[in-house]
Amino acid sequence: MHLQGKTALVTGSTSGIGLGIAKALAAAGAAIIVNGFGDADTIEAERAALAVLNGGKAVYDGADLTKPEAIAEMFARADKDLGGVDILVNNAGMQFVSPVEDFPPEKWDMIIALNLTASFHTIRHAVPGMRKKGWGRIIATASAHSLVASPFKSAYVTAKHGLAGLTKTVALEVADAGITVNCISPGYVWTPLVENQIPDTMKARKMTREQVINDVLLAGQPTKKFVTVEQVAAVAAFLTRDEAENITGANLSVDGGWTAG
Ligand code: NAD
């Protein structure tokens, strides 16, 4: 329980990787701010399950991260009710698959807003409090697509490369303040985000579902296995430990060897 007394905001923690990271941090004793969209009853059940792990300290904030004012309100609430955010996990993200010439401009704007700009806003709100305490952890769920590209994902790849750059820049700025800033770059993890892109990928590449899974999703992962949510969450939890205080500005691949090739 190395995170007793700390508060973690995990964006996009109503589903997939974010929920897995929230569980791992709650199991280590952190109070959790759950964020993301979804069915109200399901979210309440998830929040209650997290509170069982850490002794009752889980709240939900449904801030839409594409709206800077909603992010500001979420941080104001965290400061007032929970003594600020000690661990910030920028995890929320979305995907859209289309050839660049057909890519809807509003989808581009939304992906850049959620997958990149939201992290700028959360970081700028989180850093002052972390500096005051002399301790902080900022972790982003980036992607193998922060390091390499795939066709038909122009907005996503652009945003994730930007997130990797933001991570390195902020790491340098706060390095002497007890704050580490890193990103984790998973390969394909079986979550709703991956499931939902299969139909558009079938269309864009003229493939069957099985071909998309084997010849696109797992083609680049030498292990030929999907990464699990728990594997990504374990890396995030390790980054919050004292042993990880000299890991900063890093982009940690959890991608079955994808970006080694
Ligand atoms: P997911 O679809 O299961 O979860 C996405 C989360 O983001 C949900 O909680 C959703 O409600 C939330 N969200 C969406 N729009 C939001 C908004 N406007 N404001 C607040 N929250 C919002 O997806 P996932 O696969 O768990 O993805 C999590 C992160 O991991 C994303 O950044 C994604 O790019 C990254 N990632 C995923 C994979 C993968 O293969 N699944 C691989 C590499 C990186």
Give the tens place of pLDDT for each residue, 25-78.
Answer: 999 999 999 999 999 999 999 999 999 999 989 999 999 999 999 999 999 999
pLDDT, tens digit (0-9, with 9 covering 90-100), for 248-258: 999 999 999 99
What is the CA(28)–ligand 1 centre distance, in A? 22
- What's the pLDDT tens digit per position in 188-214? 999 988 889 899 899 999 999 999 999
- CA-65 nearest atom, ligand 1: 19
CA of 17 to the centre of ligand 1 (A): 7
Q: How far is the CA of 176 from the centre of ligand 1 (A)?
A: 31
Whether residue 117 has its Cβ less than 6 Å from ligand 1: no
CB distance 91 to ligand 1 below 6 Å: yes
* Residue identifier of the C-alpha nearest atom 22 of ligand 1: 36
Nearest to 248 by CA among 184, 185, 171, 174: 171
Strand 87-90 versus strand 58-61 pairing type: unpaired
Mean pLDDT of the chain: 97
pTM above 0.95, yes or no: yes
Q: Which fold has domain 7-188+228-254?
A: Rossmann fold (3.40.50)
Is the beta carbon of 159 within 6 A of some atom in ligand 1?
A: no
| Residue 156 appears among annotated catalytic residues | yes
> Quick one: pLDDT at residue 84?
98
> Which ligand 1 atom sits nearest the alpha carbon of residue 95?
34
CA distance 36 to 42: 12
Calpha distance 99→115 (Å, rounded):
19
Among 96, 108, 156, 226, the one annotated catalytic: 156
Distance 18 CA to ligand 1 centre (A): 7
Residues 27, 32, 36, 40, Cα dihedral to 10°: 90
Give the residue among 3, 48, 76, 10 at the shortest CA–CA distance from 233.
Answer: 10
Give the per-residue SS3 of 93-140. Answer: CCCCCCCHHHCCHHHHHHHHHHHHHHHHHHHHHHHHHHHHHCCEEEEE
Q: Which atom of ligand 1 is nearest to the CA of 189?
A: 40
pLDDT of 95 over the 90 cut: yes
Q: Quick one: CA torsion of 43, 49, 52, 53, rounded to 10 degrees?
A: -110
